[in-house]
Amino acid sequence: MRELRKYVTENPTENLQHTIQSDNSKKKHLLRRLLVFFLFSCTVVVGSNITFYQQNVSIKEKQKEVEKLSKEMKAMSAEEKGLKDEIKQLNDDEYIAKIARRDYFFSKEGETIFPVAK
């Protein structure tokens, strides 16, 4: 220990240079750590922004598809209602007879049909 104290007291300029070099190396390490942290933070932010954008696009596509399918469902339910009404009518004998007379020139007993060109 005595030798170290002697050396430090005898060479104060070398001790000062060592302190300055130590401060510079600390600053370099701090800058490196900050740079690594900054790069990591930028990577996380960019990655999350990309994910957010992709999910947003996907949600918009799904919403358009839902709207399209909703319109299609309304049209099909209207068609279904029309077909159910037609089934009810086709189960009625009077309606079937009316269509047969109109389209196929069937007649009732004692009835004469005169076809007229349209």
DSSP state string for 62-88: HHHHHHHHHHHHHHHHHHHHHHHHHHH
Regions in the chain scoring below 70 on pLDDT: 1-22, 118
pLDDT at 107: 80
Distance CA 64, CA 69 (A): 9
pTM: 0.51
The token pair at 96 is: 């079937």
pLDDT at 21: 62
Please give the angle made by the CA atoms of 50, 52 and 56, to the nearest 5 degrees: 120
pLDDT at 13: 57
What sign has the CA pseudo-torsion 66, 67, 70, 71?
A: negative
Distance CA 89, CA 62 (A): 40
Distance CA 97, CA 107 (A): 9
Distance CA 16, CA 24 (A): 12
pLDDT at 81: 97
The secondary structure element, H or E, covering residue 4 is helix 2-10
